C-alpha cells in the first residue's frame, strides 16, 4: 500500500485544495516541510480561494491572536483571539506553537520590531543582531545588522521591516520560511539607499544611493508613531511633517526605487490610519476620520483606473467603502473617544478605541471579529 510519502506534489496540492477552510489548510501545512512547501507554491492561495469562495468571508480570518508590546520593553505579550477556542483547526495551531515565546528566553532587552505573515522580527536594545522567529514552526534565524559604511550614515528609528516571502517559491524545503528584512540607510547630506537581507542567500544587499528628494530623513527622529508600514511589495514611510504635505515616501521593494505618493483627497489631518493588505493581498488604507466619526477603506489602484491626473508611481487611492465608526466598534464610539488604527494585515485592521481596548475588524464587512484588553501597542498574528 502506498504511503503518504509516495504522493507527488501535485497530489498533495489536490488534497490541500479540498480542505474546507483556511484554518484547516494552515493546520495541514504543519504536517511536514514538504506540505508547507506545496502550500506555498506560486498561485496556490489564489486557486484555494477560487475553490472556496467563502474562504475570505468574515468567519474565515486566520487571526490566532495579538502580540502586544509596551514602551518599557521586553518580549511582547500574546493574547489569544476568542474565536480560536471554538475552531478546532486554529486551536491546534495555537496549542502547537510557541506564542508565549518561551524559546527566546526572558530578556528585558528584547524589542518587537515587526510582525508579518506570522513571523516576528525582534532585536535587543543596545544593538546586536536581529532575530526572525516563527512561533508556529519554532524556527529562529539570527541576522547580523548591515554595516554602516561611509560618513554620516544612519538607520532611522524602527528602520527594519520584515517582508516575508510566502508568495515567492523556490526548490528548497524551507521555502515557506523565506523572508526579507528591508532597511533604508540615510546620509545627512541628502542621500538614501535600500538595504535588503534575503534569507535565501543569508546576506545583505546594498542598493545604489539615491538622492533624498522626498524628505525621508524627516522621520528619523519621530518616535510618536510607528513610521513604517507595508503592503503588496511597497513600504510606506510616514514623514514628520506629513500632516502638512499630505503625502508619504514609498519604497518599491521590487525595483528599490522611491516615489512620493499623495494621501487620499482631503488629507488625513484628523484621521488615524494604517496601510496594509486586504484578504486578497491588495494594498489598502484603513482610516478612522475622528472628525466625522467614519471608518473608511481605501484601495491603491492604477491611475487610469481611478481616473486622476497626479503622478505617484502610477498609483492613486480610491475610496472602497465607509461606514460610521459606531457600526464598526462594539458598544458604539463616543464622540469624545477617538479611535486609532494601529495596523492592517491579511484583511484585518486592529483598532484601539481607548488606552486598553483593541478590536480586530474584518475589512470585508467592517465588523469586529475579536476584542482584546491591553495597554500596549498591538500587532496581529
For the segment 269-279, what is each residue's pLDDT rounded down to a tens digit? 778 889 999 98
Distance linking the first and last C-alpha atoms of the chain: 40
CA 37 vs CA 40, 109, 185, 266: distances in Å: 5, 34, 33, 45
In angstroms, rounded to a whole number, what is the distance separating the alpha carbons of residues 160 and 67? 18
Do 105 and 121 sit in the same domain of this protein? yes
Grid coordinates representing 368 are: 469586529
Is the Cβ–Cβ distance between 226 and 69 less than 8 Å? no
With cut-offs at 50, 70 and 90, classify the pLDDT of residue 130.
very high
Query: For position 323, what pLDDT does the model report?
Result: 93
Do 48 and 128 sit in the same domain of this protein? no
Do 83 and 25 sit in the same domain of this protein? no
Is the Cβ–Cβ distance between 133 and 101 less than 8 Å? yes
Place of cell 506534489: 9
Do 351 and 219 sit in the same domain of this protein? yes
In angstroms, rounded to a whole number, what is the distance separating the alpha carbons of residues 326 and 323? 8
Bridge partners, residue 179, by sequence: 164
Is the Cβ–Cβ distance between 118 and 30 less than 8 Å? no
In angstroms, rounded to a whole number, what is the distance separating the alpha carbons of residues 28 and 217? 45
Query: For position 56, what pLDDT does the model report?
Result: 47
Q: Which of 139, 102, 105 is nearest to 119 (CA)?
A: 139
What domain count does the chain have? 2
Bridge partners, residue 184, by sequence: 194
With cut-offs at 50, 70 and 90, classify the pLDDT of residue 169.
very low
| Residue 173 DSSP label | T
Higher pLDDT, 150 or 223: 150
Q: Which of 27, 56, 85 is the last residue of a domain?
A: 56
With cut-offs at 50, 70 and 90, classify the pLDDT of residue 100.
very high
Residue 202: give the domain boundaries. 57-380
| Helices within 18-161 (DSSP H only) | 22-29, 33-39, 44-51, 88-96
Do 62 and 134 sit in the same domain of this protein? yes
Do 23 and 116 sit in the same domain of this protein? no
In angstroms, rounded to a whole number, what is the distance separating the alpha carbons of residues 305 and 316? 9
In angstroms, rounded to a whole number, what is the distance separating the alpha carbons of residues 49 and 299? 20
**Residue 109 scores a pLDDT above 70:** yes
Do 104 and 14 sit in the same domain of this protein? no
Q: What is the mean pLDDT of residues 171-195?
A: 70
Render pLDDT for 3-50 as a digit per residue (tens, 0 to 9). Answer: 667 788 888 889 988 887 777 877 787 777 788 778 766 677 778 877
What mean pLDDT is reported for the chain? 77
What's the CA dihedral at 47, 50, 55, 58 to 10 degrees?
130
**Residue 283 scores a pLDDT above 80:** yes
Amino acid at each position: 500500500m502506498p504511503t503518504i510519502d509516495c504522493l507527488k506534489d501535485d497530489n498533495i496540492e489536490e488534497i490541500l485544495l479540498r480542505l474546507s477552510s483556511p484554518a484547516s489548510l494552515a493546520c495541514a501545512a504543519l504536517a511536514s516541510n514538504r506540505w508547507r512547501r506545496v502550500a506555498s507554491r506560486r498561485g496556490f492561495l489564489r486557486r484555494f480561494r477560487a475553490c472556496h469562495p467563502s474562504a475570505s468571508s468574515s468567519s474565515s480570518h486566520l487571526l490566532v491572536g495579538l502580540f502586544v508590546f509596551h514602551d518599557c520593553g521586553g518580549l511582547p505579550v500574546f493574547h489569544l483571539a476568542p474565536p480560536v477556542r471554538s475552531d478546532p483547526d486554529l486551536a491546534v495551531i495555537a496549542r502547537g506553537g510557541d506564542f508565549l515565546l518561551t524559546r527566546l528566553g526572558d530578556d528585558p532587552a528584547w524589542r518587537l520590531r515587526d510582525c508579518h505573515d506570522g513571523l516576528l522580527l525582534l532585536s535587543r536594545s543596545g544593538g546586536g543582531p536581529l532575530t526572525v522567529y516563527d512561533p508556529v514552526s519554532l524556527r529562529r534565524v539570527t541576522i547580523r545588522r548591515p554595516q554602516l559604511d561611509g560618513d554620516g550614515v544612519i538607520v532611522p528609528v524602527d528602520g527594519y521591516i520584515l517582508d516575508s516571502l510566502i508568495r515567492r517559491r523556490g526548490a528548497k524545503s524551507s521555502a515557506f520560511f523565506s523572508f526579507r528584512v528591508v532597511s533604508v540607510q540615510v546620509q545627512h547630506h541628502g542621500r538614501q539607499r535600500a538595504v535588503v537581507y534575503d534569507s535565501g542567500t543569508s546576506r545583505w544587499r546594498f542598493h545604489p544611493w539615491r538622492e533624498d528628494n522626498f524628505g525621508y530623513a524627516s522621520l528619523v527622529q519621530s518616535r510618536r508613531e510607528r513610521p513604517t508600514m507595508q503592503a503588496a511589495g511597497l513600504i510606506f514611510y510616514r514623514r514628520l511633517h506629513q500632516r502638512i504635505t499630505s503625502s508619504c515616501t514609498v519604497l518599491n521593494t521590487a525595483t528599490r526605487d522611491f516615489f512620493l505618493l499623495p494621501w487620499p483627497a482631503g488629507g488625513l489631518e484628523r484621521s488615524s490610519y494604517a496601510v496594509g493588505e486586504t484578504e486578497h493581498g491588495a494594498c489598502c488604507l484603513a482610516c478612522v476620520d475622528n472628525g466625522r466619526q467614519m471608518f473608511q477603506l481605501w484601495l491603491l489602484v492604477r491611475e487610469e483606473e481611478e481616473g486622476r491626473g497626479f503622478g505617484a508611481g502610477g498609483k492613486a487611492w480610491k475610496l472602497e467603502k465607509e461606514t460610521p465608526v459606531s457600526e464598526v466598534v462594539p458598544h458604539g464610539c463616543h464622540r469624545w473617544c477617538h479611535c486609532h488604527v494601529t495596523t492592517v494585515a491579511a484583511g484585518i485592521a486592529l483598532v484601539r478605541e481607548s488606552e486598553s481596548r483593541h478590536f480586530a475588524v474584518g475589512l470585508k464587512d467592517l465588523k469586529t471579529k475579536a476584542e482584546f484588553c491591553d495597554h500596549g501597542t498591538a500587532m496581529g498574528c
